[in-house]
Amino acid sequence: MGYGYRKFIVHDDGTLDRMRNNVFDRLLRDPQHHSMPAMAGKRVRMADIVVQLENRRPVCVVRRVYLVVSFDEEGRLDTKRFLQQQWALVESALDPVLAEPNHGDRILDAASRFIAQGGRWRPQAGLAQRIDDAALGRIAAGTVRLARPTCRGSSSGPNTMRATEASQPRRRTASAVIGPIFPPSIPFVIYAVISGASIGKLFLGGMIPAFILVGVLMAYVAYIARKRNYPRGARTTLRAFAVDTLKALPALLTPAVLLVGIYTGVMTPTEAAAVAALYAIVISFFIYRTLKPSALMKILKSTLRTTGSIFLIVMGAYVFSYIVAVEQVAPAVAELLADAA
């Protein structure tokens, strides 16, 4: 005899979709890489059922928990709110036990009670019986899986396929191939500072290989998507494409400001970077209206941390090159190789 756990999403029309425990764990532990686009921007009712097993078959329901979970606009689980609800539910369960018997003081404050109430729901008798029947295997329920990562803006149905863990490192590796060589590239800047090479020439030399890699990866993605029959988004009309391009044009001009300033000789790379950063801040504030002063301070702090890390790398490289030059490592290695030959 043992116990099994069944999770169900309860839709507004009363239909049930089963969510396997490992799927929910991925939503909870790694929301950045696992999402459910069909649930984007919704508060979803869930039923967490514990069943008793005999010969690995469910025979009766021993525990029922009815939860309400929230998803953001991209279909990611709101983990912060979920954990707050869980703690509030635990506190509400312990509140009658831990309250002072003489004074009647309640441990649970009003805010915690409000959060706890927002994290649970109570089904009607008929719906509760259907959930029990689904948990015991008496009636069929749909299956919910995680969505495959798709292009932003594409849509997928409620039963989209999940992305395998093995494919995540491959996607990150593929993107990391283009980033270091496509201008403006931070590794190019670091290399130029250390070696004394021209930043503009490095940027110019990286553009053609970067476009080749982009084309090859696009062809590879198209081939794999067609071969595996991945879900497709709605086809964009030419008018909608033109409108979206015009909306994105101010942001697309940011690297152009940087590169044109460098290649025309009007600005040094440092000055061009400062102008491009100022331009990005201006369009974020006044054109897209997506940046607020409070968020700007967080961005500046993050930039300082990143810049400090880069400076540590550059300082370490300078120290290493100084030691190599002073100790005459290069000639010593050359003599060693010549003697070995």
For the stretch 311-326, pLDDT in tens is: 888 888 878 877 877 7
Across the range 35-55, mean pLDDT stands at 86
Least confident of 54-63, 87-96, 118-127, 240-249: 87-96
Q: Residue 84 in contact with residue 116, Cβ under 8 Å?
A: no
pLDDT beyond 50 at 110: no
* In a domain? residue 45: yes
Task: Specify which residues 17 forms β-bridges with.
Answer: 9, 142
pLDDT of residue 146: 63
| φ, ψ (nearest 5 deg) of residue 88 | -65, -35
pLDDT of amino acid 111: 47
In a domain, residue 151? The reply is: no
Is the domain of 259 the same as that of 318? no
Same domain, 296 and 279: no
Sign (positive/negative) of CA torsion 239, 240, 246, 249? negative
- More confident: 289 or 330: 289
Same domain, 131 and 15: yes
Is the residue at 162 inside a domain? Answer: no
pLDDT higher at 201 or 231 = 201
Q: Does 133 fall in a domain?
A: yes
Instruction: Report the domain count for the chain.
Output: 3
Q: Would you state the pLDDT for residue 145? A: 61
> Token pair 């008496």 is at which residue?
138
Query: HEC states along the chain?
Result: CEEEEEEEEECCCCCEEEECHHHHHHHHHCCCCCCCHHHCCCEEEEEEEEEEEECCEEEEEEEEEEEEEEECCCCCECHHHHHHHHHHHHHHHHHHHHCCCCCCCCCCCHHHHHHHHHCECCCCHHHHHHHHHHHCCCCCCEEECCCCCCCCCCCCCCCCCCCCCCHHHHHHHHHHHHCCCCCCCHHHHHHHHHHCCCHHHHHHHHHHHHHHHHHHHHHHHHHHHHHCCCCCCCCCCHHHHHHHHHHHHHHHHHHHHHHHHHHCCCCCHHHHHHHHHHHHHHHHHHCCCCCCHHHHHHHHHHHHHHHHHHHHHHHHHHHHHHHHHHCCHHHHHHHHHHHHC
More confident residue, 91 or 64: 64
- Looking at residue 15, what is its pLDDT? 87
User: In whole angstroms, what is the distance from residue 291 CA to residue 284 CA?
Assistant: 5
pTM for the structure as a whole: 0.39
Report the pLDDT averaged over residues 42-69: 87
**pLDDT for 125:** 87
The mean pLDDT value of the chain amounts to 77
Residues 120 and 189 grouped into a single domain = no
- Answer yes or no: is 158 within a domain: no
Determine what percent of the chain is predicted with pLDDT higher than 70. Answer: 78
Same domain, 139 and 186: no
Distance between CA atoms of residues 250 and 283, nearest Å: 7
- Domain span at 335: 292-341
Check the CA dihedral 219-223-225-226 and report its sign.
Answer: positive
Q: How far apart are CA 258 and CA 241, in angstroms?
A: 25
Q: In terms of domains, do 124 and 173 share one?
A: no
Same domain, 21 and 124: yes
pLDDT digit string, tens, across residues 114-156: 444 556 788 888 888 989 988 888 888 777 666 655 444 444 4
Residue 188 φ then ψ, to 5°: -65, -40
- Give whichever of 11-15, 81-85, 93-97, 321-325 has the largest mean pLDDT: 11-15
Q: Are residues 230 and 337 in the same domain?
A: no
**Sheet containing strand 2-10, strands side by side:** 57-70, 43-54, 2-10, 16-19, 142-144
46: pLDDT strictly greater than 70: yes
Higher pLDDT, 179 or 5: 5
Task: Report residue 288's pLDDT band, with 50, 70 and 90 as the boundaries.
Answer: confident
Residue 150 lies in a domain: no
Can you read off the two tokens belonging to residue 93? 């369960």
Final residue before a domain boundary, out of 266, 289, 312 = 289
> For helices 293-326 and 329-340, what crossing angle results, to 10°?
50
Do 270 and 329 share a domain, yes or no? no
The reply to whether 332 and 282 lie within a common domain is: no
Q: Which of 51-55, 159-163, 246-250, 330-334 has the weakest average pLDDT? A: 159-163
pLDDT value at residue 103:
46
Task: Please check whether residues 93 and 178 belong to one and the same domain.
Answer: no
Q: In terms of C-beta density within 10 A (0-12 exposed, 13-18 middle, 19 or more buried), how is residue 217 classed?
A: middle
The whole-number average pLDDT for the span 258-284 is: 85
**To 5 degrees, how large is the angle CA 61–CA 62–CA 66?**
80
**Taking a C-beta distance cutoff of 8 angstroms, is the pair 89, 116 a contact?**
yes
Q: Domain for residue 80, yes or no?
A: yes
What is the pLDDT, as a whole number, of residue 219?
92
Euclidean distance between CA atoms 327 and 183, whole angstroms: 36
Residue 44 is predicted with a pLDDT of: 87
In a domain, 155, yes or no: no
Find where tokens 């606009």 sit.
Answer: 73
Q: How far apart are CA 150 and CA 148, in angstroms?
A: 6
- 313 and 245 part of one domain: no
Does position 225 have pLDDT exceeding 80, yes or no? yes
Q: How confident is the model at residue 92 (pLDDT cuts 50, 70, 90)?
A: low
Q: What's the pLDDT at 258?
A: 81
What is the tens place of the pLDDT at every residue in 147-186? 655 444 444 444 443 433 344 444 444 456 777 777 777 7
pLDDT at 176: 64
